[in-house]
Amino acid sequence: MAKEIERKFLVKSTKYRELAEPITFSQGYISRVPGKIVRVRLAGEQGFITIKGISAGYERDEFEYEIPSADARQILDKFCEKPLIEKTRRTITFKDKIWIVDEFEAENEGLVVAEIELESSDETFEKPAWLGCEVTSNPRYYNSHLVVNPYKDWR
């Protein structure tokens, strides 16, 4: 079974922008039932479908498969809750670890989150200077929650 072990942080500066080229993402949710999340994503010109289980600490089951981009566009349009999650992503290597930084747009404009995927829950890592506080355990920052409670409404 595939496992995702992930930690999530807010980002406090824009210094990460000079470290990687951006890729645009659109993603939507077919199901947001806890423990049965089904997401479709268009990352640049690549389509993906992902199924995620319930979180236990930093871990959860995750299955992700590439699908044709035309199929991803159709599914996003016809089957996913609106609004879609729109964001720009940068993939950055720091101290031999891969960091993903997402700058949210549209309904979630102004929110910037970084995440790191780990091999184990107790794995240690060094944090880049542009990281802010950790939000791993706060469901408010889950992409699936941003669909129904967008960042623009938090203020």
CATH no. for residue 71? 2.40.320.10
Told to judge if 29 belongs to the known catalytic residues of this protein, a careful annotator would answer yes
Cross-strand bridge partners of residue 93: 98
Q: Identify the CA nearest to 60 among candidates 112, 125, 141, 121.
A: 121
DSSP string of 39-60, one letter each residue: EEEEETTEEEEEEE---BTTEE
**pLDDT at residue 34 in the model:** 85
Options 16, 29, 58, 142, the catalytic residue: 29
What's the number of domains the chain is made of? 1
- Cβ(5)–Cβ(117) below 8 Å: yes
How many Å is the Cα radius of gyration of the chain?
A: 15
Cross-strand bridge partners of residue 59: 5, 56
- The Cα–Cα gap between 11 and 111 comes to 9
Q: Which residues of the chain have pLDDT under 70?
A: 1
pTM of the model: 0.92
The residue range of the domain holding 105 is 3-153
